[in-house]
Homo-oligomer: A and B are copies of this chain.
């Protein structure tokens, strides 16, 4: 974990709602695991005192580049879109606990919307270790099916469903996933970005006794475990406990997560 300034190499819109930022992260001298995040100062710090957490979309150690894929949501991410190549972003990270790969078997990633930003890094890591990766991508529209191409390029098998086409409801997604679990050697399930899909993944993991992990979100202040702003409820050894998304998570064993 480090506090540093990183120069912006690129900052582009991907479509009407999503942007992609590439930073020069040569300041970074730590391993960055998929599922970890950075806490970014997005704009005018006086007016907007809270940092924004963003998952690592891609960290390429050799070229020392750090990438984020972000949804333009409110003032913080709007201000991010104003930043130009050559400007600096102030970051804290890498933060939190990332994903762990299954000992054996393929990975099944279930992502919706910008959840894919988080799972993308996991897909890359798994592919780098030559694991088989299946991805179910769900989104509102075909346009919002982010990085499907990039995932295919690295050799992941991608299934897409959208609200627009009427293919994204649970009644259709569940059999698709069950079929994958039956047909392929799925070793672990991962999900991010949708409560409904996370719940489904949890069900499936339980039903099929699969390892699983969920990346969850919470509003944060410190981002490093000091303030308890990001508390969530975790089921651990039969008891409900409070955990911090920023430092105990954001990735939790799927059976521990209490999905409200």
Query: Which positions in A face B, CB cutoff 8 Å?
Result: 44, 46-47
Contact = CB atoms under 8 A, between A and B. Distances in A.
A146 B47 CA distance: 36
Nearest to A46: B47
A47 B47 CA distance: 6
Contacts of A44: 44, 47
Nearest to A75: B46
A12 B44 CA distance: 24
A46 B46 CA distance: 11
4 contacts: A44-B44, A44-B47, A46-B47, A47-B47
Contacts of A47: 44, 46-47
A98 B147 CA distance: 63
A197 to B, nearest CB: 37
Contacts of A46: 47
A47 B44 CA distance: 9
A46 B48 CA distance: 11
A257 B41 CA distance: 50
Nearest to A47: B47
A44 B46 CA distance: 11
A110 to B, nearest CB: 40
A48 to B, nearest CB: 10
